[in-house]
Amino acid sequence: MLTACAAPQASQHGDAAPTIVSLNPCADAILTEIAQPGQLLAISHYSHNPASSSMDPGVARRITVTGGTVEEAVSYTHL
Model pLDDT, residue 13: 56
List the chain domain ranges: 3-7+17-78
Model pLDDT, residue 70: 87
Model pLDDT, residue 77: 74
Q: How far apart are CA 3 and CA 28, in angstroms?
A: 10
Contact 44, 22 (CB under 8 A): yes
Which residue, 15, 17, 19, 14, is CA-closest to 4?
19
Find the radius of gyration of the CA atoms of the chain.
12
Model pLDDT, residue 68: 87
Intervals of the chain under pLDDT 50: 1-3, 6-8, 10-11
Q: Which region, left, alpha or beta, applies to residue 23 given φ > 0 means left and ψ of -120 to 50 means alpha? A: alpha
